[in-house]
């Protein structure tokens, strides 16, 4: 191994953590994102699909472990070290709560704290190296696994304050005039969807409902459309399809490396948010944060619409797909061809190795 390969700077460390996290999110969330709503509908017809729905939902709970494992693999850790980092990431993620002595899964946890915990575990493993000798199998899980997990569990309440603070800010937008509210919420969620912050967690925490929920979903649709347009020029169809189907967070490393890509997302979200207000697109706290992933946003929006089913379907198609994608194409053309704000490479996805 060359000196260049062994030199680990802060930037290299962060990029590896982000790369592992981005891929882990895709692996963990895609099955439920693609099949969840389909199985939910088919479950009303045949019981077997209820079981299959529980499978893809259960798979989603493994996100913290998957993220931890893929982060560890970025640092070429051995199998035992890798699974220790994965276990520590799960413990520090907050994906479970303890009620009356019983462990209960409550989601995928806080992604930021998952990354912090996994990073601490990786650092402990690298610092300890082979210093534990024959006691490695006994002490490494305690020190790097339980130790990092303990630190993560202590930092979790403080890291969650980031999410709650953002939620408070977004909640203040609901007091504004409808069009302005829709624009601000759409723009906020368009950026949050490619950050480590959970849009679903924020929406449910502040009880985002009605037009505010609809605007949040439209903002996510606008972000997905912009990312698809940008990705299709430089990535494989698999990567682009994953982004379009709901795995927008896999673009987190791109946002960190090229913050400028947030501009086309925000502009497209602002345009789409205006139409969200004009069409009075609505939703619930539990449907906000999904966009058109699994058709959660469009299906819930149609429940609040008046008029016939065909007309409502046309409005949903226009608001959730046509306007965001047309807007994404136009904004991308302006940014890349006219003002040359960024190069297409800004959307190049680098998978975990």
Tens-binned pLDDT, residue by residue, of the chain (353 aa)? 444 455 778 888 988 898 888 888 878 877 887 788 788 888 988 999 999 999 988 898 898 999 999 999 999 999 999 999 999 999 999 888 888 888 888 878 888 899 999 999 999 999 998 888 889 889 999 999 999 999 999 999 998 888 888 888 988 998 889 999 999 999 999 999 988 887 877 887 788 888 999 999 999 999 999 999 999 999 989 888 888 887 788 888 889 889 999 999 999 999 999 999 999 999 888 778 778 877 778 888 888 888 788 889 999 999 999 999 999 999 999 999 999 998 889 999 876 55
pLDDT at 107: 79
Cα separation, 292 vs 224, in Å, equals 9
The single residue listed with the structure tokens 């605007």 is 215
Query: Could you count the other beta carbons within 10 Å of the beta carbon of residue 119?
Result: 22
Cα separation, 146 vs 137, in Å, equals 13
Name the residue among 67, 69, 43 with its Cα closest to residue 55.
Answer: 43
Cα separation, 214 vs 2, in Å, equals 52
- What the block records as the tokens of 162 is 């980031």
Mapped to the 3 state alphabet, what secondary structure does the chain carry?
A: CCHHHHCCCHHHHHHHHHHHHHHHHHHHHHHHHHHHHHHHHHCCCCCHHHHHHHHHHHHHCCHHHHHHHHHHHHCCCCHHHHHHHHHHHHHHHCCEEEECCEEEECCCCCHHHHHHHHHHHHHHHHHHCCCCHHHHHHHHHHHHHHHHHHHHHHHHHHHHHHHHHHHHHHHHHCCCCHHHHHHHHHHHHHHHCCCCCCHHHHHHHCCCCHHHHHHHHHHHHHHHHHHHHHHCCCCCHHHHHHHHCCCHHHHHHHHHHCHHHHHHHHHHHHHHHHHHHHCCCCECCCCCCCCCHHHHHHHHHHHCCCCCHHHHHHHHHHHHHHHHHHHHHHHHHHHHHHCCCCCHHHHCCCCCC
Cα separation, 230 vs 219, in Å, equals 17
What are φ and ψ of residue 103, in 5° steps? Answer: -85, 130
pLDDT at 110: 86
Q: pTM for the whole thing?
A: 0.79
pLDDT at 351: 64
pLDDT at 1: 41
Cα separation, 268 vs 221, in Å, equals 10
Query: Could you count the other beta carbons within 10 Å of the beta carbon of residue 34?
Result: 18
């Amino acid at each position: 191994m060359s000196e260049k390969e062994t030199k680990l700077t802060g930037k290299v460390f962060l990029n590896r953590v982000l790369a592992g996290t981005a891929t882990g999110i895709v692996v963990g969330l895609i099955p439920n994102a693609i099949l969840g709503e389909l199985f939910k509908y088919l479950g009303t017809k045949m019981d077997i699909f209820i079981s299959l729905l529980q499978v893809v939902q259960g798979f989603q709970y493994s996100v913290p472990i998957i993220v931890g494992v893929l982060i560890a693999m970025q640092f070429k850790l051995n199998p035992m070290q890798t699974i220790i980092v994965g276990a520590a990431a799960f413990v520090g993620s907050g994906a479970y709560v303890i009620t009356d002595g019983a462990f209960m899964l409550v989601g995928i946890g806080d992604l930021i704290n998952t990354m912090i915990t996994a990073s601490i575990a990786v650092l402990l493993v690298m610092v300890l190296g082979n210093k534990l000798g024959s006691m490695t199998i006994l002490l490494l899980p305690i020190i790097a696994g339980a130790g990092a997990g303990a630190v993560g569990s202590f930092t979790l309440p403080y890291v969650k304050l980031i999410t709650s603070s953002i939620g408070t800010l977004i909640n203040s937008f609901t007091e504004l005039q409808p069009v302005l509210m829709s624009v601000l919420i759409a723009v906020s969620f368009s950026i949050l969807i490619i950050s480590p912050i959970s849009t679903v967690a924020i929406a449910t925490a502040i009880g985002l409902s009605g037009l505010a929920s609809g605007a949040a979903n439209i903002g996510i649709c606008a972000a997905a459309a912009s990312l698809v347009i940008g990705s299709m020029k430089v990535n494989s169809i698999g990567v682009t399809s994953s982004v379009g189907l709901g795995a927008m967070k896999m673009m987190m490393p791109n946002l960190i490396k090229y913050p400028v890509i947030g501009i086309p997302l925000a502009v497209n979200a602002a345009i789409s948010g205006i139409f969200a207000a004009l069409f009075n697109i609505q939703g619930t706290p539990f449907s906000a944060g999904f966009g058109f992933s699994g058709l959660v946003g469009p299906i819930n929006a149609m429940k609040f619409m008046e008029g016939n089913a065909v007309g409502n379907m046309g409005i949903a198609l226009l608001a959730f797909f046509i306007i965001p994608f047309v807007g994404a194409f136009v904004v991308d053309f302006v940014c890349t061809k006219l003002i040359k704000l960024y190069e297409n490479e800004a959307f190049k996805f680098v998978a975990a190795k």
